[in-house]
């Protein structure tokens, strides 16, 4: 199936008018993954440096992180949603390395998020210069993760913004737990099971400011999302654009939200639901770590490229499940996923690519085509840091 899909993609190859850098990257990817695995430590360092470059080179010059570097158009403007959840990763690396400059970068991201918050507490969808500029549930939940991390690390300056975002999410939720009032204008309309990742933001806010019903609202959404889960763990209504073939990116969102709900509430049914989804994902990971960028209702491949973001997101979730269950298959599958993505990362190439993580491998796959995505680098950092932790716990080299 992979060979057939690749043949179709090659038949539909883009014209030779592509910029030279894009043509070269596409040609390189068509030859297959590079042979060298830089290793988790080198990749964490390189991806962190790339995110610093993305903050410095954002075309909007505002303290946020550029959404991407696109081989066709260059650096983009800042992206509020993902800047929000890059903040916890930047703080984590800063704390582990003692790098005061990284703390300064996290504070600039936080200050920018506070400055662009709507008075009612929500945050816009899309890039900072995208229209329409309206508050969006999902984006607010992701920025809430950053605000909660900011309060935990730096205290009072971010408390009010966190509370307003959490209240806005709590109060805009429908009675059944789903959020429908403030959808993104940049994705296909419809309910989204992957907003369990929004619920996670509420769990973090509840830990810092209990007694406001934030965690209870998050659990209502997760319970609603479970009504979309099939017995084999696959979720309906769980994609940006194609619910029948969801991206591994949004599958990873949904799974992480389940795991965080279990971590918050300790409910066995939530762990069971996460195990079913994770087992389907682990079984879909090839021996070389390849995971198709879209997965159908039986977790069968639905794309001829890897969504690198989804691969590292799901690797992180599989590592979390390994810690919870002790099941070696989750650890092994997570390592294979991480290794595949690391092979795709250049740590000593051109400045725009060094430490960047592409949306797709090959680069012209239909998720984040031709671009290095800031959230791909963020999730790659997270997954490789957790892999290193597990190795240390096991006494591995």
Residue 12 domain flag: no
Any residues with CB less than 8 A from the CB of 271 and at least 6 apart, and which? Answer: 262, 324
Residue 384 domain flag: yes
Which pLDDT belongs to residue 395? 85
Among 142, 177, 212, identify where a domain stops: 177
Residue 194 domain flag: no
Which pLDDT belongs to residue 16? 55
Domain CATH number, residue 67: 1.50.10.20
Which CB contacts under 8 angstroms, 24+ apart, belong to 1-6? 1/301, 2/290, 2/292, 2/301, 2/304, 5/301, 5/303, 5/304, 6/304
Residue 282 domain flag: yes
Residue 281 to residues 20, 205, 299, 314, 367, Cα–Cα distance (Å): 36, 29, 7, 8, 18
Same structural domain, 164 and 306: no
Average pLDDT value for residue range 211-225: 98
pLDDT (tens digit per residue) in 133-188: 999 999 999 999 999 999 999 999 999 999 999 999 999 999 999 999 999 999 99
On whether the CB atoms of residues 219 and 265 are closer than 8 A, the answer is: yes
Q: 125 is in which domain, residue-wise?
A: 57-177
pTM, rounded to two decimals: 0.95
Same structural domain, 171 and 295: no
Residue 16 domain flag: no
Between 256 and 16, name the one with better pLDDT.
256
Please give the radius of gyration of the chain, using alpha carbons only, rounded to the nearest integer.
Answer: 20
Domain CATH number, residue 248: 1.50.10.10
Same structural domain, 272 and 390: yes
Average pLDDT value for residue range 261-287: 98
Which pLDDT belongs to residue 218? 98
Count of structural domains, the chain: 2
Among 158, 177, 196, identify where a domain stops: 177
Same structural domain, 108 and 172: yes
Residue 186 domain flag: no
Same structural domain, 244 and 392: yes
Same structural domain, 259 and 380: yes
What phi-psi label fits residue 190: left (phi over 0), alpha (psi between -120 and 50 degrees) or beta? left
Residue 383 to residues 98, 208, 239, 335, Cα–Cα distance (Å): 20, 24, 22, 9
Which pLDDT belongs to residue 8? 41
- Cα–Cα distance for residue pair 45/388, rounded to 1 Å: 13
Same structural domain, 317 and 236: yes
Same structural domain, 258 and 139: no
Please say if the pLDDT value at position 7 is more than 60.
Answer: no
- Summary mean pLDDT of the chain: 95
pLDDT (tens digit per residue) in 88-114: 999 999 999 999 999 999 999 999 999
Residue 8 domain flag: no
Residue 9 domain flag: no
- Cα–Cα distance for residue pair 352/107, rounded to 1 Å: 24
Rounded to a whole number of angstroms, the distance between the first and last alpha carbons of the chain is 37
């Amino acid at each position: 199936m992979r060979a057939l899909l690749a043949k179709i993609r090659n038949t539909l190859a883009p014209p030779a008018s592509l910029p030279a850098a894009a043509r070269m990257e596409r040609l390189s990817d068509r030859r297959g993954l590079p042979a060298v695995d830089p290793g988790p430590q080198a990749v964490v360092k390189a991806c962190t440096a790339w995110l610093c470059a993305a903050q410095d080179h954002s075309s909007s010059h505002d303290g946020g992180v550029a959404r991407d570097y696109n081989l066709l158009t260059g650096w983009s403007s800042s992206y509020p949603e993902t800047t929000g959840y890059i903040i916890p990763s930047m703080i984590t690396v800063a704390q582990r390395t003692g790098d005061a400059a990284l703390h300064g970068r996290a504070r600039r991201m936080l200050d920018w998020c506070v400055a662009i918050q709507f008075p009612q507490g929500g945050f816009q969808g899309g890039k900072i210069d995208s229209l329409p500029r309206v508050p969006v549930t999902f984006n607010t939940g992701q920025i809430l993760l950053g605000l909660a991390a900011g309060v935990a690390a730096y205290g009072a300056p971010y408390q009010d913004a966190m509370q307003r975002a959490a209240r806005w999410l709590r109060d805009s939720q429908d009675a059944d737990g789903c959020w429908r009032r403030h959808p993104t204008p940049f994705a296909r309309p419809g309910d989204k099971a992957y907003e369990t990742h929004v619920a996670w933001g509420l769990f973090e806010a509840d830990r810092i400011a209990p007694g406001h019903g934030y965690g209870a609202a998050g659990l209502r959404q997760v319970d609603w999302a479970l009504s979309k889960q099939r017995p084999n763990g696959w979720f309906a209504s769980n994609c940006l654009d194609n619910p029948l073939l969801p991206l591994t990116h949004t599958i990873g969102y949904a799974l992480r939200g389940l795991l965080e709900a279990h971590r918050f509430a300790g409910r066995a049914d939530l762990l069971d639901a996460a195990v079913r989804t994770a087992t389907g994902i682990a079984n879909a990971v090839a021996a070389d770590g390849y995971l198709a960028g879209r997965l159908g209702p039986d977790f069968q491949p639905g794309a001829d490229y890897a969504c690198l973001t989804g691969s590292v997101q799901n690797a992180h979730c599989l590592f979390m499940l390994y810690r919870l269950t002790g099941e070696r298959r989750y650890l092994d599958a997570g390592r294979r996923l991480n290794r595949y993505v690391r092979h795709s990362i250049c740590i000593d190439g051109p400045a725009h690519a060094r430490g960047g993580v592409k949306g797709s491998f090959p680069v012209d796959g239909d998720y984040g085509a031709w671009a290095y995505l800031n959230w791909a680098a963020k999730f790659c950092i997270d997954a490789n840091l957790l892999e290193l932790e597990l190795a240390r716990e096991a006494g591995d080299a």
